Structure 1
């Protein structure tokens, strides 16, 4: 199954942690055999709950770098 990650790159989410989250996701995907498309997008309109991203259409709010790896492992595990 091909996965899709969309990360908000709006200025608020970017400043709140998605700059670092993007690097973590890129490194994670490079180190694992996961069929995944990673894309960035402009503001998703949920600045108060940022940083925001979605995995396979499921939205996640307040994603910090400490919890991101656990989230990736839970959502991107091979099926």
Structure 2
């Protein structure tokens, strides 16, 4: 199963930080040479606006993501991809 990231691009999540998170994720994937291994896409709304910004990673929806949390999640989910495991 291919690993995935789905970032909510609805207006609430976008305004609350996913605008910056989009660039951070792209830089992380390309900077670590794993962009081809991760399916990265956006969606319009997860219907969790009050708990945003929302990002789904490998089927797990995460709420109220800030930059530090996002970096921690990317490391948690994808460190093995970078090391070939």
Shorter-chain TM-score: which interval?
A: over 0.9
- Greater share of helix: 2
Corresponding position of 2:19: 19
CA distance in 1 between partners of 2:39 and 2:8 (Å): 14
Corresponding position of 1:62: 64
CA distance in 1 between partners of 2:8 and 2:74 (Å): 16
Instruction: Give 5+ residue unaligned stretches, structure 1.
Output: none
Corresponding position of 1:51: 53
| Secondary structure at 1:63 match in 2 | coil
Corresponding position of 2:9: 9
TM-score w.r.t. structure 1 length? Answer: 0.93
RMSD (Å) for aligned C-alpha atoms:
1.1
Deviation at 1:33, TM superposition (A): 3.0
Structure label with greater radius of gyration: 2
Runs (4 or more) in structure 1 with deviation over 3 Å come to none
Instruction: Give 5+ residue unaligned stretches, structure 2.
Output: none
